[in-house]
Chain A
């Protein structure tokens, strides 16, 4: 074990050589490389360890790739010719390979003719440390951070001095911090109680492992200090997981708000039950898909263009529904419900017949994938963050439209007293069309956002219609703020109880909760007051 550990200072030495004296590498030739690799193909693991060390101290610039490929099992040797090759892809019968000495293409070789150079777990662990040290010299700061993270918990006495050197020259603060932590873990393992202070508050799993083992040590002083630090860390972790649940809850809630907010306009403000609302969401999602088919290779641009396009498509569909069905059923909400349910069936089947019954994939642009790392215990996925922001923006815009524009004023007037509004010169029929188009268009926007989170298929809308109605009814009909509060809180409630009871039961509990809530407050969280409440 000790001997294998010796790689790491060797690797540091190599890096210094590579950094300081590049001219040494010119003399390398195939003979020396072949000799170094020959030594690797030894029978005993001790001999292999020595050969690896030899490769590291040789200063050969190819050594990094050799060690990498050795770790991945891709460094192999031809049985008959003894030639060393690197396998590019080990699928099928014949594998494409490159020469291990020149890295030039060497055609394909049958997998039967190749022998791999085996390593055991001890070698693997030490190779990883050695590679991490090599990586500390890479140009990209992210690579250096990963390398420093890899070194946590595997620093030993021989590495302390070289790592100090690295810290003095390193200009990235995060890398420095991680390396200091690595050194602190080493000192903690040696029984240094002061090291605990440096490790306090870190959420890294390896730091916790080191503290855990220190907490079990014989030195009671160290053990107590480590336990105290651990309690602190556990608390932080709990806070983090609480924040994560809250984030997922808000994310789910924002989806509910997006899906329901259009309904809040058509149902809440106009009093029209639109069971085809889910299908309008679906149309928005399919618009995104179609836009991406039209602009292949530019998913980001397509997504941005889908926002107005999805709004328009869904709004036009909404106008068509209003003109063809809903206007004939004024004042008969239950009949409207049935008729629009029929429309939803037709739209679903239309998508199945015209496009496909299968789900379609909508690509996420690069700037929406990945996640935003808050700290080592908490990272927020970017697409959910975007949808959360998007739903808030849509909500704010709708509030503005309803409270600050002529249309909003007319809508409110027609809602409160249709006859009076008409006698004041408001064209109620036109207001009906515009309001319904607005609600439908917002459903389309919800579809555009949902296409980034779920599968786009003919059943997309069905999955959201009941939830959307629940949100609107829970929040209080005719109240956009109620919809926002209801959506977000239902999302959070769902996520909070989900770990205990599972996803399906959580949904059932939420549904039963709403059913009971409506008995208690039939008009929702924020009931309408005044004349609008009557009727």
Chain B
């Protein structure tokens, strides 16, 4: 079966092994090592790592379209945020009458706005299965419609990047409006429990961390399976020579659309796992700068390798945590510098360095040509 195919690859098994070992290590250090011991991992750190892992899943989603399809999406933050909002809406409904205003149905911000009933698009979000389905369907549908229009008329390259950016910018503006019914500027917050587990307890946090880790593992395997399949090979062909692939008889736009939608859904799942861990979702996740940052994670880690995306997401976000804590002013300098240095001096990213170090020049055939653009 094609989905099991990746388990035969050495690199994938190595990646999964390292990931699962890290998950187990963090769990042990958190539960078994007493607090105060230097090796103890606090609940705060567990949540922080969980956040990084959800970013890593997002980066894998972006790498799938950028690295293997050649589409630089500057709007993946929108899919991430939509998944996050779907999860946030479920969590809001779970608050019930424990909000400040004690309304059994309406979230606090709606009571504040003097709304007397739930808007239609909030219906059903009290049921977890429906909300989780929406985490996949809302970003997926947006990607389907957007991608269908764009790929059908062969909008590619820079144009596509710019209109994906316009898409997330338009959503940013829209979600800032109170009338939209998503909490406006403040977004959704004050969550209490998820599937009956109190979000404030350490065990729930550990559970979310592990769930995010497993989601990352599954997302990775899924992407790996896609790129190793015949479909993946065609999409790489689209990346490297779109016109030639079309002339060979492939319906390029269908391959592009399929991969784009899968990627958007993965981003939605990442957003849904991110929200309960940070405890808030607001329109800032739609901001174009966030979407570009995701691309940087992928570029830094190494485009077109998948594991590079994970490494990049973890490295950049760890650096961000350190920098914003120690000297907040310097973070934008560091981030900007990374953009420039990686693109100019490190076009294959950290993964490229690793491959060079351990394998010599014997690169993975899929990632050998990643830096060469199909467009002129």
Residue A301, interface by CB 8 Å: no
B176 surroundings in chain A (CB, below 8 A): 504
Residue B241, interface by CB 8 Å: no
Partner of A535, one of B177, B371, B376: B376
Residue from B154, B170, B333, B343 whose CB has the most chain A CB atoms within 10 Å: B343
B167 surroundings in chain A (CB, below 8 A): 511, 515
B153 surroundings in chain A (CB, below 8 A): 518-520, 522
Taking the closest CB of chain A, its distance from the CB of B115, in whole angstroms, is 19
Query: Considering the chains assembled together, what is the distance between the CA atoms of A332 and B177 in angstroms?
Result: 38
CB-based contact B292/A338 at 8 Å: yes
Query: Considering the chains assembled together, what is the distance between the CA atoms of A81 and B295 in angstroms?
Result: 80
CB-based contact B339/A341 at 8 Å: yes
Interface residues as binary, B325-341 with A (CB distance below 8 Å gives 1, 0 otherwise): 00001001101111110
Binds A, one of B100-108, B156-164, B260-268: B156-164
Residue B149, interface by CB 8 Å: yes
CB-based contact A518/B173 at 8 Å: no
Looking across the interface, which residue of chain B has its beta carbon closest to that of A509? B170
CB-based contact B332/A348 at 8 Å: yes
Interface residues as binary, A7-40 with B (CB distance below 8 Å gives 1, 0 otherwise): 0000000000000000000000000000000000
Query: Considering the chains assembled together, what is the distance between the CA atoms of A339 and B292 in angstroms?
Result: 11
A505 surroundings in chain B (CB, below 8 A): 177
Residue A295, interface by CB 8 Å: no
Partner of A333, one of B154, B157, B333, B340: B157
A511 surroundings in chain B (CB, below 8 A): 166-167, 169-170, 173
Are A338 and B343 also in contact (CB < 8 A) when A332-B371, A511-B169, A519-B152 are? yes
Residue B43, interface by CB 8 Å: no
Taking the closest CB of chain A, its distance from the CB of B159, in whole angstroms, is 6
Partner of A514, one of B158, B166, B337: B166
Taking the closest CB of chain B, its distance from the CB of A472, in whole angstroms, is 9
A333 surroundings in chain B (CB, below 8 A): 157-158, 373, 375
Query: Considering the chains assembled together, what is the distance between the CA atoms of A343 and B371 in angstroms?
Result: 21
CB-based contact B347/A335 at 8 Å: yes
Partner of B335, one of A337, A342, A516: A342
Looking across the interface, which residue of chain B has its beta carbon closest to that of A466? B169
Partner of B159, one of A325, A332, A473, A535: A473
Query: Considering the chains assembled together, what is the distance between the CA atoms of A508 and B371 in angstroms?
Result: 34
Partner of A331, one of B158, B299, B373: B373
Residue B165, interface by CB 8 Å: yes
Partner of A346, one of B157, B161, B299, B336: B336
Residue from B161, B295, B335, B340 whose CB has the most chain A CB atoms within 10 Å: B340
A342 surroundings in chain B (CB, below 8 A): 296, 335-340, 343
Interface residues as binary, A143-173 with B (CB distance below 8 Å gives 1, 0 otherwise): 0000000000000000000000000000000
Query: Considering the chains assembled together, what is the distance between the CA atoms of A470 and B165 in angstroms?
Result: 10
Looking across the interface, which residue of chain A has its beta carbon closest to that of B66? A334
Are A339 and B343 also in contact (CB < 8 A) when A332-B371, A349-B332, A519-B152 are? yes
Residue B344, interface by CB 8 Å: yes
Are A349 and B154 also in contact (CB < 8 A) when A339-B344, A466-B165 are? no
Query: Considering the chains assembled together, what is the distance between the CA atoms of A332 and B347 in angstroms?
Result: 11
CB-based contact A349/B158 at 8 Å: no
A332 surroundings in chain B (CB, below 8 A): 371, 373
Residue A423, interface by CB 8 Å: no
Partner of B329, one of A337, A349, A519: A349
Interface residues as binary, A295-316 with B (CB distance below 8 Å gives 1, 0 otherwise): 0000000000000000000000
A325 surroundings in chain B (CB, below 8 A): 340, 344
Residue A420, interface by CB 8 Å: no
Looking across the interface, which residue of chain A has its beta carbon closest to that of B345? A328
CB-based contact A516/B149 at 8 Å: yes
SS class of chain B's interface: helix, strand, loop or mixed?
Answer: helix
Taking the closest CB of chain A, its distance from the CB of B26, in whole angstroms, is 32
A352 surroundings in chain B (CB, below 8 A): 329, 332
CB-based contact B340/A339 at 8 Å: yes
Residue A44, interface by CB 8 Å: no
Are A343 and B336 also in contact (CB < 8 A) when A466-B169, A512-B170, A514-B166 are? yes
Partner of A519, one of B155, B177, B339: B155
B111 surroundings in chain A (CB, below 8 A): none
B337 surroundings in chain A (CB, below 8 A): 342, 346
Determine the interface band of chain A, counting residues with CB < 8 A from chain B: 35 or more
Interface residues as binary, A345-363 with B (CB distance below 8 Å gives 1, 0 otherwise): 1101110110000000000
Residue from B157, B295, B296, B336 whose CB has the most chain A CB atoms within 10 Å: B336
Partner of A338, one of B150, B159, B174, B296: B296
Residue A66, interface by CB 8 Å: no
Query: Considering the chains assembled together, what is the distance between the CA atoms of A332 and B372 in angstroms?
Result: 8
Taking the closest CB of chain B, its distance from the CB of A459, in whole angstroms, is 11
Residue B288, interface by CB 8 Å: yes
Residue B272, interface by CB 8 Å: no
Residue B72, interface by CB 8 Å: yes
Q: A440-456: which have CB < 8 Å to B?
A: none
B371 surroundings in chain A (CB, below 8 A): 332, 335
A343 surroundings in chain B (CB, below 8 A): 336, 339-340
Residue A260, interface by CB 8 Å: no
Taking the closest CB of chain B, its distance from the CB of A468, in whole angstroms, is 10
Taking the closest CB of chain A, its distance from the CB of B234, in whole angstroms, is 21
Query: Considering the chains assembled together, what is the distance between the CA atoms of A518 and B158 in angstroms?
Result: 12
Residue A187, interface by CB 8 Å: no
Query: Considering the chains assembled together, what is the distance between the CA atoms of A421 and B182 in angstroms?
Result: 56
Taking the closest CB of chain A, its distance from the CB of B366, in whole angstroms, is 18
Query: Considering the chains assembled together, what is the distance between the CA atoms of A520 and B152 in angstroms?
Result: 10
Residue A286, interface by CB 8 Å: no
Residue A329, interface by CB 8 Å: yes
Are A519 and B375 also in contact (CB < 8 A) when A338-B292, A508-B173 are? no
Residue from A331, A339, A345 whose CB has the most chain B CB atoms within 10 Å: A345
Interface residues as binary, B156-198 with A (CB distance below 8 Å gives 1, 0 otherwise): 0111011101110110011011000000000000000000000
A526 surroundings in chain B (CB, below 8 A): none
Taking the closest CB of chain A, its distance from the CB of B341, in whole angstroms, is 8
Residue A273, interface by CB 8 Å: yes
Residue from B149, B162, B288, B292 whose CB has the most chain A CB atoms within 10 Å: B162
B149 surroundings in chain A (CB, below 8 A): 516, 519
Taking the closest CB of chain B, its distance from the CB of A506, in whole angstroms, is 10
Residue from B149, B173, B333, B339 whose CB has the most chain A CB atoms within 10 Å: B339
- Chain A residues packing against B (C-beta within 8 Å): 273, 324-325, 328-329, 331-339, 341-346, 348-350, 352-353, 466, 469-470, 473, 504-505, 507-508, 511-512, 514-516, 518-520, 522, 535
Q: Could you name 12 residue pairs across A and B whose Cβ atoms are closer than 8 Å? A: A336-B343, A337-B72, A342-B336, A343-B340, A349-B333, A352-B332, A353-B329, A469-B165, A470-B162, A511-B167, A515-B146, A522-B153
Q: A334-B72, A345-B335 are in contact. List 8 more A-B contacts (CB 8 A).
A: A332-B373, A333-B375, A337-B161, A339-B339, A342-B340, A352-B329, A516-B149, A518-B163
Enumerate the 9 nearest inter-chain pairs by beta-carbon distance, A residue then B residue, closest first: A342-B339, A345-B336, A346-B336, A349-B332, A511-B170, A342-B336, A339-B343, A519-B149, A342-B340
